[in-house]
Chains A and B, each alone.
Chain A
Amino acid sequence: MSESFIQTNNLLKVYDGSTLALDNVNIRIDQGDWTSLIGPSGSGKTTLLNMISCLDKPTEGSIVIDNKIVTDLNQVQLTQFRRENIGLIFQKYYLIPYLTALENVMIAMYYHSTVDEDQAIDSLTKVGLEHRLDHKPSKLSGGEQQRVCIARALINNPKILVADEPTGNLDQKNGQIVLDLIHSLHQEGHTILLVTHNIDIAKQGDHIMQIIDGKILEEKESN
């Protein structure tokens, strides 16, 4: 079998020496695919997302992303890999409250390399927030905050977009705007890993993986 863009090998994650969060997880995601990870609360989907996002390390097993064994990297290398390859979209947006929408995007550029204000404006324009550049998060709606979060995730041109319940805190209308954005990013060729409870959202991707009690139960093509 050829190497996939993202591949996990016998991934095991044990918390506090006894709580098994991931049990022998082997998944493969090809470049440009949208994979939806679905499962009930406590099933291990966020744990798996943390591993693939290089935010956490497995107890056993390996993760290979773009031919790089990321589980062999130390903390500094992992941080560097994350900021160059992975864009994170959070359910709770996690914008810095005292910075404007524009600055919340620019801060990701600052930690990546150099800050280019025009590029940050372009990124916000792409998510339809060109008129909200100088607004602080408290002055933005939930949907707008999530779009700032997406603009921030995209600003450094990551190869992978990891989204954790991106519409979880949004009403249907705003949720759809965000999903439309993710669709367009998928069409642009981004590899997307999306965690959701919602089967209808999961079905919008190329593949669906169901995880229960730390094991991948089902992996199927989306309709």
Chain B
Amino acid sequence: MFFRILRKSLQKRKGKVAISIIAVIMGASIPSAMLTVSLDINGKINYEFRKFGANLLVVPESDTIDVGIGDISLSSVTDQRYINETDINKIKSINWSRNILGYAPFLYQVISAETSEEKQQVVLVGTWFDKNTSLEDGSYFQTGVKRINAWWWEIEGNWISDLETINVSDEIYCMIGKNVANKMNLQLGNEINISYEADSNIINKTLIVAGIITSGGTEDNHILVSLPIAQNITNHINQVHTIQVSALCTACPIETIAGEIEGIIDDIDARTILQMTNTEMNILSKIEMMMTLVTIIALLGTILGVSTTLTTSVLERRTEIGLMKSIGAENKKIAALFLTESTIIGLIGGIFGFIIGFVGAQIVGLMVFNSLVSLQVIIIPIALGISVGVSLIASFIPVRRAMKIEPIIVLRGE
């Protein structure tokens, strides 16, 4: 009988029920869209953030020895250590390897660079540019500075390739920073003679400028060559100073990834670039806060809308409620009728709200990130839960009003 009353009551008041459902749809669609975008946004924003460079720096553990007399410390000496090149690809074998977007090793050495006009002390940097490196599991991974920094490096000329070995006959190409190019008056295609003295051996090489980098960072002062060339010139075979890692931190904090890298490669420190990570987290939390606020405002609007419609309905049905009470209906049965109505309104509104919200999320995804937002199944029960919850909260005041209606009104003829 309860459901018969419920069904007929809903049928009778189709228009008002439809208004309530529309209010819930409007209220549920915004949280659905926000939730869909927000669950996907971390990934998408992280990809956007990764365009600004690495967020993890892997360096060798250093031993610092105090030098002094007795208890008086005069200074300290830090032993320069290196990371073994063969360890680099271990980064891609951590549990969170899917979050590793790319990495690039770096070997730095101050060398003399000379042209017909100028002679300068310049930092020579050996790195991977866009290396198709083979991993321990036999698969290949394309990585290098082009992958982790390229989005914001402005290149005049061309990227250079990753040479594996050096032959005497090979022409060795390099990329130079904008400041180096300016100071030494170098242009694309020019040659630079570099020399490096190690253990009384002087190694001379001639490099050809293939590209000029404008990054706004330290790269503007460097000469970049492929890692084996730098290793060969500086006699640091299979050694690198640092590895820059670009890691997504959507599901796990960056510290977890850093910890895993420290666990898998011996004698290194994996340091998060806190300034960048904090800024990213800050931006993310602000975006999330904004979406939460929009969601809260939308939900409050829904509560107000549904509550007003239900209150109107209670006022219009005063006599009916009074009659039900006069023939013996307890307050709990009256409340059950209205609360079940609200639940149905919430469910229907929630389903359509989710669909509209999902479509809205796709529009946001396409407009802001230029890609579709993936369907998160978990949002369906959440959206339904929110819409039913909101409907029930909205029915609190109307139900209280209904419960306060006295049966006597039917005999008073009101």
Q: Closest Cβ of chain A: how far from B342's Cβ, in Å?
A: 18
Query: Given A96-B320, A98-B8, A111-B324, is A76 in contact with B411 using a C-beta cutoff of 8 Å?
Result: no
Q: Does residue B413 face the partner (Cβ distance < 8 Å to A)?
A: yes
Q: Are A55 and B330 in contact (CB under 8 A)?
A: no
User: Which residues of B have CB within 8 Å of A50?
Assistant: 408, 411
Q: Closest Cβ of chain A: how far from B376's Cβ, in Å?
A: 41
Q: Are B1 and A90 in contact (CB under 8 A)?
A: no
Q: Does residue A82 face the partner (Cβ distance < 8 Å to B)?
A: yes
Q: In chain A, what residue has the closest Cβ to B317?
A: A96
Q: In chain B, what residue has the closest Cβ to A78?
A: B407
Which of A46, A49, A83, A99 is in CB contact (< 8 Å) with B327? A83
Q: Does residue A144 face the partner (Cβ distance < 8 Å to B)?
A: no
Q: Closest Cβ of chain A: how far from B122's Cβ, in Å?
A: 89
For residues 79 through 113 of chain B, which have their beta carbon under 8 Å from a beta carbon of chain A? Answer: none
Among B1, B327, B410, B413, the one with the most A-chain Cβ atoms within 10 Å of its Cβ is B327
User: Which residues of A have CB within 8 Å of B411?
Assistant: 46, 49-50, 53, 55, 88, 90, 164
Q: Does residue B75 face the partner (Cβ distance < 8 Å to A)?
A: no
User: Which residues of A have CB within 8 Å of B326?
Assistant: 53, 55, 82, 88, 94
Across chains A and B, the number of contacting residue pairs, with CB separation under 8 Å, is 78
- Chain A: interface secondary structure? helix
User: Which residues of B have CB within 8 Å of A91?
Assistant: 413
A88–B324 alpha-carbon span in the complex (Å): 11
A164–B412 alpha-carbon span in the complex (Å): 10
Q: Are B8 and A111 in contact (CB under 8 A)?
A: no
A80–B329 alpha-carbon span in the complex (Å): 9
A91–B8 alpha-carbon span in the complex (Å): 25
Q: Are B325 and A110 in contact (CB under 8 A)?
A: no
User: Which residues of B have CB within 8 Å of A115?
Assistant: 1
Q: How many interface residues does A have (CB within 8 Å)?
A: 33
Q: Does residue A97 face the partner (Cβ distance < 8 Å to B)?
A: yes
Q: Are A96 and B323 in contact (CB under 8 A)?
A: yes
For residues 314 through 354 of chain B, which have their beta carbon under 8 Å from a beta carbon of chain A? Answer: 319-320, 323-330, 333
A107–B5 alpha-carbon span in the complex (Å): 8
A141–B137 alpha-carbon span in the complex (Å): 87
Q: Does residue A112 face the partner (Cβ distance < 8 Å to B)?
A: yes
User: Which residues of A have CB within 8 Å of B407?
Assistant: 55, 79, 82
User: Which residues of B have CB within 8 Å of A76?
Assistant: 330
Q: Are A83 and B328 in contact (CB under 8 A)?
A: yes
Q: Are B11 and A98 in contact (CB under 8 A)?
A: yes
Q: Does residue A92 face the partner (Cβ distance < 8 Å to B)?
A: yes
Q: Does residue A66 face the partner (Cβ distance < 8 Å to B)?
A: no
Q: Closest Cβ of chain B: how far from A21's Cβ, in Å?
A: 12
For residues 1 through 31 of chain B, which have their beta carbon under 8 Å from a beta carbon of chain A? Answer: 1-2, 4-5, 8-9, 11-12
Q: Does residue A106 face the partner (Cβ distance < 8 Å to B)?
A: yes
Q: Closest Cβ of chain B: how far from A169's Cβ, in Å?
A: 11
Interface CB pairs A-B, < 8 A, 25: A49-B411, A55-B407, A56-B406, A56-B408, A76-B330, A79-B325, A82-B326, A83-B327, A90-B410, A90-B411, A92-B413, A94-B326, A94-B410, A96-B320, A99-B8, A103-B1, A107-B324, A107-B327, A110-B1, A110-B2, A110-B5, A111-B324, A111-B328, A111-B329, A156-B328
Residues of A participating in the B interface, judged by any CB pair closer than 8 Å: 46, 49-50, 53, 55-56, 76, 79-80, 82-84, 88, 90-92, 94, 96-99, 103, 106-112, 115, 152, 156, 164
